[in-house]
Amino acid sequence: MKKVLLGMSGGVDSSVSAVLLKEQGYEVIGTTLELFAGSSCCNINTYLDAKNVCKEIGIPHFTFDFKNEFKKYVIDDFINCYSNCKTPNPCIECNKYMKFGIMYEKAKELGCDYIATGHYAKTEYSEKYGRTVLKKSKAGKKDQSYVLWNIPNDLLEHIIFPLGDFESKDEIRQIAKEKKLKVAHKPDSEDICFIPDGNYKKFLENNSSLKPIEGNIVNIKGEILGKHSGLYNYTIGQRRGLGISNPVPLFVIGFDKEKNEVIVGEENELYKSELLVTDINLLLFDKIDDWLEVDVKTRYSSMQAKAKIKQENEFIKVVFDNPQRAITPGQSAVFYIDDIVVGGGKII
């Protein structure tokens, strides 16, 4: 019997994943990682919900304290990004280093063949490409393949996503009801887990040296249009909260960290035809030697856009068929061929 370590948050997705894996004949061990005290996924209710589900279905459950590692790989990166006028996606760092890094090491210690999570994504062997690939799930907008692009390539054959073939969350909740799981009606957590109140500005001020230092809001010509309350309070594409009276709407289009300036412009100035990414992780190929036609997502919630990409040393250049709005440094550009994840990188 194959053994699998399942990451459990105490929510309905990972709980149903445990049921499905057991029904499929795996020897399942549930685990909850302690990552940040007081977060939406690391509190006494989380641990109890996960532990109770495991007890209900008859599998063991363990908690492991990785708060120091979470601070090093996720919190510090989050702070560093905002300190350098970038907008991070901490879930991506957490997936790379915690769920598919440290948790996999723990799985090997426990003698497990696989690790699993309740993400909406799929892994399967592709005859065409001769390797295990990461694919979109069937869940449409709920698909989470975007936040999984930088998991280590050699782990794909050891990862199971039990929810990959479901089309909606309603199906998952229905299974939870049928199995009489107490978490069946537990609401989804949409916020960054370590900022459950959603106030990332307060979090930054309380946990870093970032403070609201006033500076100028300028246009592309350098003309002063207003004042800002700290660069970390703004992101590319932002319109609200600028406090500027102007005949046409203005949006944040960039920053000058050295001058402590927020740069604004009209909406047409938000569009770009090209971008560069670094911190590359390729899942489908070992290297991209020539121009490759792909679909690209530049944010979790954005639509895919057609583009061609080419690897240039430690960078990948992306050239879009049509200009894209609000390309944001710090976010990830993720590349797809059909429903297969080619890989991705951080926008610079």
Q: Which sequence spans correspond to the domains of the chain?
A: 3-178, 212-265, 271-347
Q: How far apart are CA 122 and CA 336, in angstroms?
A: 14
Q: What is the pLDDT of residue 197?
A: 87
Contact 11, 4 (CB under 8 A): no
229 exposed, middle or buried (CB, 10 Å; 0-12, 13-18, 19+)? middle
- Tell me the residue ranges of DSSP E strands in the chain: 3-7, 27-34, 61-65, 114-116, 121-126, 131-136, 159-160, 215-218, 224-228, 251-256, 261-265, 271-282, 292-297, 305-312, 315-325, 332-337, 340-347
- In DSSP terms, 295 is beta-bridged to 306, 336
For the domain 271-347, what is the CATH code?
Answer: 2.40.30.10
**DSSP 8-state assignment for residue 307:** E
* Average pLDDT per 10 consecutive residues for the chain, totaling 348 residues: 95 97 98 84 81 96 96 98 97 96 97 98 97 97 96 96 96 96 86 89 95 96 96 96 94 98 98 98 96 97 96 96 98 98 98
Q: What is the pLDDT of residue 273?
A: 98
Tell me which of 42, 85, 94, 112 is the catalytic residue: 94
Q: How far apart are CA 284 and CA 16, in angstroms?
A: 29
Task: Please say whether the structural domain 212-265 has been given the CATH code 2.30.30.280.
Answer: yes
Contact 164, 5 (CB under 8 A): no
pTM of the complete model beyond 0.75: yes
Q: Is 94 a catalytic residue?
A: yes
Q: What is the pLDDT of residue 41?
A: 66
Q: What is the pLDDT of residue 173?
A: 96
- In DSSP terms, 216 is beta-bridged to 227, 261
Q: Is 193 a catalytic residue?
A: yes
Q: At what angle do helices 76-83 and 200-207 cross, to 10 degrees?
A: 100
Task: Please say whether the structural domain 3-178 has been given the CATH code 3.40.50.620.
Answer: yes
Q: What is the pLDDT of residues 124-179, one digit of tens each?
A: 999 999 999 999 999 999 999 999 999 999 999 999 999 999 999 999 999 999 99
